[in-house]
Amino acid sequence: MSFTYQGRTISKIAVIGSGQIGPDIALYFCKVLASAGVSIVVVDISDEALAKGQARFEKKVDRGVKSGAFKEDRGEQMKSAVTWTSDYGQVAGAAFVVEAATEDPGIKQKIFSQLEQVCGPDAILASNSSHLEPEVISESLTDRKRSLVVHYFFPAERNYVVEVVPGEETDPEITGWVMGFYENIGKTPIRVASRYGYAIDPIFEGLFLAAALCVEKGLGTTKEVDAVATRALGLTVGPFLAMNLTGGNPITVKGLPIEGEKIMPWFRAPELLVKAVETGTPWEVPGRGETIEVSAEAEKAITDELQGAFLGLCDEVISSGIVEFGDFEMAVEMALDLIPPAKLANKLGVDRALDLAKAYADANEGFAAPRWLAVEASRGTPIAVPVVYTEQTGEVAVVKVRRPRSANSLSEASFEQLFNAFREVRDDESVRACVLVGHGIKAFVSGADVKFLAEIDSPEAGMRNSKNAQDLTVFMESLGKPIVCAMNGLAFGGGLEIAMACNARVAVQGLKLLAGQPEVNLGIIPGAGGVTRLPRWIGVEKAAALLRTGRPVSAEEALELGLVNMLVERNELVDRAGELALEIANGTADVRDLPTGALADVPATLPDVDIGHRSRAVDAILCQAIVDGANGSLADGLKIENEAWGRVCETKDMRIGIDTFIKDGPRAQAPFEHC
């Protein structure tokens, strides 16, 4: 057995290094590839390191079995998939190798020389480095085209972000393959140009430096600064606790002075850190559940320092051009678990954010003056963050929704950017067809952002938002070029609604949860065309049962219902969707069109369905909209659906449903009052 992606077949992966992060990298590969028969080899010259790494690996697997994350037999499969060895000969046959040794260029170069002797000529050689430029690491190789950096973040098996950093001689096809491979196995890769520290570590280490300087300036203790940092930047853990958890002091004390040479002079190893490394003393940080009292004056001073430093650090990375802005915004939030720069700037006000960054630069010698923020402030509007991306392959444009932290849910910005993307597709004469897909492997689009729905405060606001969403689906249908939805994961709510506005749908086979309209669980109904289009794709009675209960369907049931046109292997999804889109453009595809007129044999009343705890008031509005919409044209149905949405917004149950979701999560049953 093996795993194949874009022409490369992987039966073995090697991880070099069984220290701090290597076993966790191996664990993630096991999670996603062991079931495909891929074996993992972990190599280390130290038997003690191998034993410790294996023990930690197996402890995490056992914890996953105990928590129900995976079944016992899968846990045993993962354990048996890994070989722990000091024999480099075991690496032979590996198609992909990740070196995860200590952050020392000499050691890494020596390892790469050994790998080049052992591995086949087509093996990709990657280094999990946090700082070193790929050109430095690959210096000992004779063939540098197949080498690059893949930088994981703590904890590697759960943190989805991976920085992919090609060197000057890296083959662009290798870089593209690695980017696609990581997304195909569930990670969120971002491409970063070669520079010491890449894009994210200067933020992590720079924020720590700013926190240490707060202590050295007497603004607060390490405990106090950590406590304020969580509030000022939305951090889950403060900078000092993060260093304790990651064991980052030794790497950071070396990295900061080099960042001072290669990025900006402000970076340096603070005396506080030097002493901590010399003594091996962990930072004093707030205990679990401990409340740290800080005066209002100290709170403001520390907040201004940390926010100014953070915004200025992010400004430097964005202004350097080493990473795409949207990638950086996403990666900072996901990798470091804090409020990303544009979101923080918008929250504070862009002018205020600029003032904070300027003030920090003015007060700290060697700190770069803000450039990106200055440009954004001059616009006089909130900073827009891209969440929809378009790439063209031949005559096919691939439009991707990318909001992985929220399972690609649709925000107001998502709708606007989808409009813009499809306009570009329409107007580009070199594009004949389009594929719409979501980022990653979990979700195509998981629905509308519930926070977005929570802002609806009147029937008029509800109808306006419904109409805006409907306008997108109508625009898609009238594009003049076929759109095929590549359903890479679950399509719920608004996600299924925009999928149904495509000419055809291709889904990943074997998905137990693929599609559904779960709106009734929130005390609402579909508003972007789901009430109108689902009956036209699969029939009124079958659609009504799904709409009224919110029951999701698997990929196989979706195919049986006629909701999707074909099921394919995940690694074929986008390619097959593109082929189908071109076939539709050529008039050779065997796909049916969505009926736009009144449907035949529409029942006067819908069959009884057990709606359980769901709102009977909302159900009555929904049933009438289904029947009336099916008896009219597609345009009539959309208007009826929009008006029904307005009536739902007048119910008490809508507010109960959305409030319950926000407070207690999607599994909670809302206590509807049926009015």
Predicted local confidence at residue 108, as pLDDT:
96
Residues composing the chain = 675
Domain boundaries, the chain: 3-191, 201-379, 388-664
3-191 topology per CATH = Rossmann fold (3.40.50)
Instruction: Please indicate whether residue 519 is annotated as part of the active site.
Output: yes
Q: Please, is 343 exposed, middle or buried when counting C-beta atoms within 10 Å of its C-beta (0-12, 13-18, 19+)? A: middle
Q: Please, is 384 exposed, middle or buried when counting C-beta atoms within 10 Å of its C-beta (0-12, 13-18, 19+)? A: middle
Predicted local confidence at residue 247, as pLDDT:
87
Instruction: Please indicate whether residue 497 is annotated as part of the active site.
Output: yes
Predicted local confidence at residue 454, as pLDDT:
77
Q: What is the pLDDT of residues 426-443, one digit of tens each?
A: 999 999 999 999 999 999
Long-range contacts of range 145-149, CB-CB < 8 Å, 24 or more positions apart? 145/169, 145/170, 145/171, 145/174, 146/122, 146/170, 146/171, 146/174, 147/112, 148/124, 148/174, 148/175, 148/178, 149/198
User: Among 259, 519, 541, 579, which one carries the catalytic annotation?
Assistant: 519
On whether the CB atoms of residues 93 and 13 are closer than 8 A, the answer is no
Q: Scan for tokens 């889904």, then name that residue.
A: 507
How many whole angstroms from its chain centre is CA 312? 24
pLDDT < 70 regions, the chain? none
User: Among 183, 477, 497, 641, which one carries the catalytic annotation?
Assistant: 497
Q: Give the count of beta carbons closer than 10 Å to the beta carbon of residue 287.
A: 9
Token pair recorded at residue 276: 């901590």
Backbone angles phi, psi at 346, to 5 degrees: -65, -35
Q: Which CATH number applies to 201-379: 1.20.1260.10, 3.10.450.50, 1.10.3210.50, 1.10.1040.50? A: 1.10.1040.50
Half-sphere exposure of 45 toward its Cβ, with a 13 Å CA cutoff?
7
Predicted local confidence at residue 667, as pLDDT:
85
* pTM of the predicted model as reported, rounded to 2 decimal places: 0.93
Q: How far apart are CA 30 and CA 81, in angstroms?
A: 7
On whether the CB atoms of residues 340 and 403 are closer than 8 A, the answer is no
- Domain 388-664, architecture per CATH: Alpha-Beta Complex (3.90)
